[in-house]
Amino acid sequence: MNYLATITSKNQLTLPIVLFKKAGFRVGQKISVSEESGRLVLTPAEMLIEELAGSLKMPKKWKGKSLDRIIEESKKEYFKKNKFS
């Protein structure tokens, strides 16, 4: 079934609740957005991590940490190294 959504002036898109629930998304969840053959594909970031699990060695500093914490710490480290803060 097709649903309509509107893109705001800030390039934000609100997903129809039916699709949001059907996809199993959660408020605040990290979502990967990719393009395949002219279509946008939304994938929970956790799913991508699970798919990659074991293919790369997990740095010791990240073991046991949530994805949100890893992202936050990585951003702080990046901006500190690049003198943006």
Q: Would you give per-residue pLDDT tens digits along the chain (85 residues)?
A: 899 999 999 999 999 999 999 999 999 988 889 999 999 999 888 777 666 667 677 788 888 898 889 999 999 988 888 876 4
Give the start-to-end residue ranges of the domains of the chain. Answer: 21-53, 57-85
C-alpha distances in Å from residue 76, one per residue of 14, 29, 69, 81, 84: 29, 20, 11, 9, 10
Beta strands in 1-85 (DSSP E): 31-36, 39-44
Whether the model clears a pTM of 0.75, i.e. scores above it, the answer is no
Counted residue by residue, the chain has a size of 85
The whole-angstrom separation of Cα 65 and Cα 24 is 23
